[in-house]
Structure 1
């Protein structure tokens, strides 16, 4: 029968005291990253796993953090979760990715997991519900909102300035000479679409009008982008001369369809994306886009949640500025 590994075995292996090892497991900030790394490596080698149930009885939590996203197929979320997981792993936390598929009921199930103490905290990068219960959990620090708004300026929300980013992108398109610009989003039209606010601000300030029939929603994939342009070609009497896409993936599909149907980019159709995913640079022509600080968004979200759970002061926010990356799909 195999011997059951105990915390004392980890202490003997590493040379650290049981107290130090326990503190490392529980994410104590007084234990250095170097020490934690050595302890976690020894735990892995010895196949030692803390008893989560026992930890909960001692008031130490599960060491599990949930990250709520809409679709894992969206590269933005993949990079965001990667940054969160890498940061939290140094403090002994495991990350569970929770995919809502934009189903509000699934989102409420994940919040219930938090309330039942099956998770220590949630980082929500997708939010379909707007209830007092959720606001209360955000206020308590057990939920951190990342890349989402809740309609309450007093709540801590980690986000880029989406209005400013969309304004910059749209204003650039207009300065390039484009006037009939379509707008594409992955969600649905709502009051919290700050990118659309920035888009409309640029359109209005430049004395242009926006054709509401050129507002397209629920676009998430390359296939969605391709089908969008095909539908525009079939249904619109007047083509847009530029398209602002809320994601590089959809923009890639639009570009593919444009090349397939002989539409010259950027001469006949300008395309601008959002995120600056790796695909943007390798497309032909390369995609003009807005770069988001995804790694910094993820890491800071993890820092804030960790500070909330440990009762320490929240760190100062890093620079979360976006950047216009000009390539070849605009004039």
Structure 2
């Protein structure tokens, strides 16, 4: 481990620390894991003759994916799959950040929709909750329906206390959930209905933490993006912002992974900074994003599915802050910043 090696992969370090902060609060531990993995992978490339690297993962980036940037640094061809937004068979060339399509124009509209959009199944049971019997899984589904993942974690915590074991994150997750409820209450307090006839640009706030907005793009800060949009708007225009519908659903089994440390990425201070912008209007959660998309003069995003909707459902101008590595890079309505 030397300073030159560390400096060569600073951006990779930032990405890896982002990824692991979703599951760890101990920055010292996360960075230690990164340095150990960096040394290990660098040693592998020093002591083996490697001509080609392929990783069957999304580039988000995990310790096992360190082989990709190290290969790129050494001029070794490196590829990964699946791609970010569409889970059809395409391959990402890691060096050029461009997609190599492996399918022709044979996908139906239904198949395109299934590939572009991730459907959340809230009846799904995470593997660590699953039981070996149908009855056990039925009971688990009932508990999850009654009190979400927190109820299951509470029961596990009680059992561990009774038998003298440790290892439950119930207390930490409960504190995070209280923070989430306060955040949702604040958003409801400051949000309003759209005004009829008002000229506006629509920015759909994206879920945090999410790799597509915080790792896979050059500008990783939604606050900065919204501030820039606010200052660039002509006089008389408003910037409508609406929170992601999944942001406050972190007690659901499918979303529970994000609850533990979500406040590290987004909290009430995000809204309070946006409240300082006079032309920004927070929109109620019950207002349809499709309706806002249709009525807006333009839409804006970092890397979310709103740019797909703007393209497919009307060809609205879409201002994209996610760099040129987008699936719709040749669409005429996309405006790259």
**TM norm. shorter chain > 0.5:** no
**TM-score under structure 2 length normalisation:** 0.23
**Structure number, greater radius of gyration:** 1
**TM-score under structure 1 length normalisation:** 0.23
